[in-house]
Every structure is written in C-alpha cells, then in structure tokens.
Amino acid sequence: MSDRVDVREWVDFQWPYLMQWLGGEERVERLAYETGAFTRRRKITRPGDLLQLLLLWAAGGHPLRETAVLAAAGEVADVSDVALLKRFAKCDQWVMSFLSEVITDGCRYDGLDKRLRLIDATIVASAGKRRHNDHRIHLSYNARAGRIDHVELTSMKGGEDLTRFEFAPSDVVIADRGYGRAGGIRKVADAGAQLIVRVSWQNLPLEHPDGTRFDVMEALRSLDDARADEFSVCLRGDPNRRVYRFVAIRKSEPKAAASRRKLATTGRKDRRNLDTRSLEAAGYVFVLTNLDQSVTAEQVLELYQLRWQVEIRFKSLKSVIHLDQLPVRNFELAQTYLAAKLLVAVLIEQLLFEYDSFPPWGYPLQPAFPSSFAQAVPQIVPQAGSPLAADPDTAPTDPDGTHPAATRTPVATANPQ
C-alpha cells in the first residue's frame, strides 16, 4: 500500500467532506483573510484551493513541483512550484488556527474530573546538515481522554519548560527531567494543579521545610533496596513555602548499569567530563510531586511511568505521518509544513476517538466550530477506547518507565523562541 494520500481521493472525492470537518468553506476563507494567508486572487482564486494544495504537499507527501502538476491536472490552479512555495510560507498562522480550534473544540467536553496531562517535546530535523534549522514540537497529551490538548512549534532555541503551558486545578501534570525547573513547577502549583516531574540531582535547589539545605545524594544513599521512599522538601526561594514530596527508588543493578553506560557514552560524545555524582544518581529514579499523601510513593512512581505514552505518540507521528524530516529550511514554511501534518493527525484522532456516536453519513452537517455535537450532548465523556484505566493501580509496574504502553494520536501555537 502506498504511504501517500491518493490524489484522486483528495482532488475529486474527499475534499468537500474534509472541508466540513474544518468548519466549512466560509470559515476557511474567513480565517485565511484574517491571518494574511490569502490576500489576492491570483492564479489560486479561492482559499479552499490553497489549503487543498498545501495538504497535498505536506500531508500527501508530494514535492512542490509534483503538487503544481497535480493542481493543473485537477483544474484547481495553474501555478508554478516557486509560486506555491511563496504562498505556502504565508500560511503558518492560518493552519495553526485550525489546529488550535480543533483541540479547543475537543476539550470542551472531555467530561473528566481529572485531566492526566503527559508533557514532552521532540526534535524534527530540517533539510541540510545545519542543526540550528531544526524545529522542536512541544506537546501535551491528555492520556485519560486519549487526545492531544496542546502543541507548540518552536525553533531549537525554544527549550523544554512548563511555563509554555496553561494549567487548571483539575490537571495532573507528568513530565520528564527536562521540565524539572523551579519556574515551571511554581506555575503548575500556582494554578492549583498537581504534578509529577522528574528532577536532576543538581539543577533544582531544594530545602527541608525548616529551611536547611536538602542534600539529594544523601537522601538517595539512604534508600533501601526495592522500596520507594519519600522526603518533604520545599523549593529554595519559593515565597509560598509550599511543601512537595521528593519520591525516589533504587533501580535494579542491570537498569542502573545500563543508565550509567548511556550517560558515559553521551559524555564522551559531547566531550565533557562527568561528575561522579551524576553516575551515582543514574542508579535511581526520583521525582518531585505535590500529590497528597493519599497517593502512596509507589503509586506516584507508577503514575510517572505513564509519561512514556507521549513518547510513543511522537514515534507514531513520525512513522505514520512521516513527521521525522523537514523538506524545507525556511522557518515560516517549516511551520506551515509541520502544522499541516499535525492537522491531519488530529483530524484522524477526531474521527477515531472523539465521538461515541458517529453520523452514518461520515461527516458533520454543521461547521465543526463550535461543535454542534458538543452543544447537543454537553455531558458526554468520550472514554471509549481510552488508553488508560482511571485507577493508577492498573498501571505498569516498572518504575524506570520501560513498559511499552499503547496510545493514540494529536495542536497549537507557533513561537520562534
């Protein structure tokens, strides 16, 4: 089976239905003018035609020249590949608007008391050897609802940080050590949300509740084998003096040895000297959380390992919709390309997992924003096929996060930083 979208399906048959999922032709045109993606009717006379060609190029996997040929053959537009490139470069905010609204529309009726948000980022390589042209995708995945609830696209200068996201009191945030920074942790806590974030032994200054320094390495060395333990800590400099739980466990010896080998290999590759304490800390898993004491230390670690679902989602995106290599270098054009890829992915997610009841004709009769379905059934809980059980005791048991948990698919703001 071909890994490309069938041309005749796009041009002759399926396009009107896809337009309905995007809110209808009138909405597509209005957003095109509002975002500056469509300013004049030259060669390409309708915004809908421009969007169709853009998706043929990005989601369909067709080179620009081939896209231009297909446009002429389908009597959509007679335009050169260079002209297409210039038009596509202006469409990043337009496609991002669709992504943002698809996600917002879906989140209106999650219907869940707690939103389990798995946060991570991945790098998408650009064409050429210069890595400064690469892009980073920052993603939040609502694991209990089985859908992505936020995506941000940035350049490589845009680091992993929880301050990029907005939180609600109903959120339980799970993130890897790249997000273990005081500013982001405070933002989650200020919003009244709960979190489980892996931290580094040296980059996050911690204190005992009485204000004395908390020695991470000393605490780790005190752990018993095969038993999780916890310590009460505060963030140094936190004016609110919130008390968090530092939860830690020793790795098995094979796991610890593998982690140390990986760390040593990375150090040699980066030509930097490793602190012996870093090698020692590689023998443990330790996280910071503000979950209350009703959740045991073992359950905190079981919840943390669910973070691997978002990494599996990235792997799925890169393999299924080929989100692993950018064919362009221009930042705006790359943003357009990535956004179009993710738009297709999130629409697939909508089709497969959003609705408990699906119209027999296969597409919405009304514009998708706002959702007539959500208005008609405001209390619906779309949990059918949810990748997780609500009970944390049903989670996998390896605290190192190696269980290959299965998940689903995807957005969105663009920010060069």
Please check whether residue 257 lies inside any domain of the structure. Answer: no
User: DSSP string of 153-222?
Assistant: EEETTS---GGGS---TTEEEEE-GGG--HHHHHHHHHTT-EEEEE--SSSS-EE-TTSPBP-HHHHHHT
DSSP string, 334-381: HHHHHHHHHHHHHHHHIIIII-SS--TTSS-SS-SSS-HHHHHSTT--
Q: Establish if 364 belongs to a structural domain.
A: yes
Q: What are phi and psi of 247, to 5 degrees?
A: -105, 130
More confident residue, 313 or 46: 46
Provide the pLDDT for residue 130: 64
C-alpha angle 344-345-349 in degrees, rounded to nearest 5: 115
Report yes or no on 297 lying in a domain: no
Residue 122 included in any domain: no
- Give the C-alpha separation, 97 to 90, whole Å: 13
**Across residues 246-273, what is the average pLDDT?**
92
In a domain, 16, yes or no: yes
Mean pLDDT of the chain: 79
Residue 67 falls within a domain, yes or no?
A: yes
Tens digit of each residue's pLDDT (9 = 90 or more) over 316-366: 777 777 777 778 877 888 888 888 888 887 777 766 654 444 555 555 555
Q: Is 165 among the domain residues?
A: no
Give the chain's domain count: 1
Q: Is 237 exposed, middle or buried (0-12, 13-18, 19+ CB in 10 A)?
A: exposed
How confident is the model over 125-138, as a mean pLDDT?
Answer: 76
Q: Quick check: is 41 in a domain?
A: yes
How many percent of the chain have pLDDT more than 90?
39
pLDDT at 374: 35
List the Cα angle 139/140/144 in 5-degree steps. 145
- Cα 233 off chain centre by: 30
Range(s) of the domain holding residue 336: 7-96+326-380
- My answer on whether omega of the bond before 370 falls inside 30° of 0, hence cis, is yes
